[in-house]
Amino acid sequence: IAGITQAPTSQILAAGRRMTLRCTQDMRHNAMYWYRQDLGLGLRLIHYSNTAGTTGKGEVPDGYSVSRANTDDFPLTLASAVPSQTSVYFCASSAGTGESGTQYFGPGTRLTVL
């Protein structure tokens, strides 16, 4: 693989169910991010990780959790999904600061919570 992959591509989920969105990168980037994108709004940061073993909260972290056990993987878990979590979720990664801090995005997961 080259770049960032996300799974699943799309998912319809019943409210109250638990769901993990997967994200894997092969660029050996230190930093990884999870965003949600809703119509009419900018990308909003959910959680981030500056390096393996560390995570931080973004702008909209409630209802979501993440882990970063290694450099490549950064899963996002919805413990008990609610309809307001219906969105497109993008995972991204970056190498460092300056222009090398450019974030590169996975293809996204379209999630519908009913």
Task: Give the pairing of strands 76-78 and 64-66.
Answer: antiparallel
Instruction: Choose between 10 and 80: whose C-beta lies nearer to another protein.
Output: 10
Contacts with another protein, residue ranges (CB under 8 A):
40-45, 48, 58, 90, 97-99, 101-108
- What torsion, rounded to 10 degrees, do the Cα atoms 44, 47, 51, 53 define? -170
Nearer to another protein, 21 or 108 (CB): 108
3-class DSSP state for residue 2?
Answer: coil
23: left (phi over 0), alpha (psi -120 to 50) or beta: beta
Work out how close the CB of 108 gets to another protein at its nearest, in angstroms, rounded to a whole number.
Answer: 6
- What's the min distance (Å) between Cβ of 86 and another protein? 16
The residue (of 16 and 56) whose beta carbon lies closer to another protein is: 56
